[in-house]
Amino acid sequence: MIKTAAMSAMSTLLLLGGCAGFGAPPPLVGDPVDVVLQKLGQPSGSYAAGPEQVLEYATGPMGQSTWMAHIGADGRLTLYEQVLTSEKFATIKVGMATHADVLRALGRPAEKSYLPLRDFEVWSYRYKESGAWNSMMHVHFDRAGVVRMMQNGPDPMYEERRFFH
């Protein structure tokens, strides 16, 4: 009994340890990269953006936020922002943005799918639209990896399932 309780407690601590960065105070503009890493932990992704390095802190496939820490050429934080917002989605240029551009702007998607009829790869991002509605933004890429369409709608994970039991 004691062994089981100890294992359960240890499992809980290990799981919570992976989320340690999300409860800590946010980093401040000007913090050196080692302080950012100390406060937030290891990033879920890292992307080059010219002279900057962008560190991604995604909340996983079920989360509705992804934080990006922009590290300047001097190794200091220049910007720390939540990117799964309507305003940030609006910066993605249909017909111009590529996979790499979307990764740098929004981070990794919650889901990837394929639409054979249109021959589109779709990256889907969960977010809170206007801070209130559980939504998904779907970014459609053509075969060349260029954004061809973006659609948002309700997140089916939160929709009532009256007819599906």
Tens of pLDDT, residues 117-133: 999 999 999 999 988 89
Tens of pLDDT, residues 56-84: 999 988 999 999 999 999 999 999 999 99
Beta carbons of 76 and 86 less than 8 angstroms apart: no
Q: What is the pTM of this model?
A: 0.81
Please state, in angstroms and as integers, the Cα–Cα distance from residue 123 to each residue in 4, 65, 131, 139, 156, following that order.
41, 15, 21, 5, 15
Give the per-residue pLDDT at 12. Answer: 38
- Domain extents in the chain: 26-158
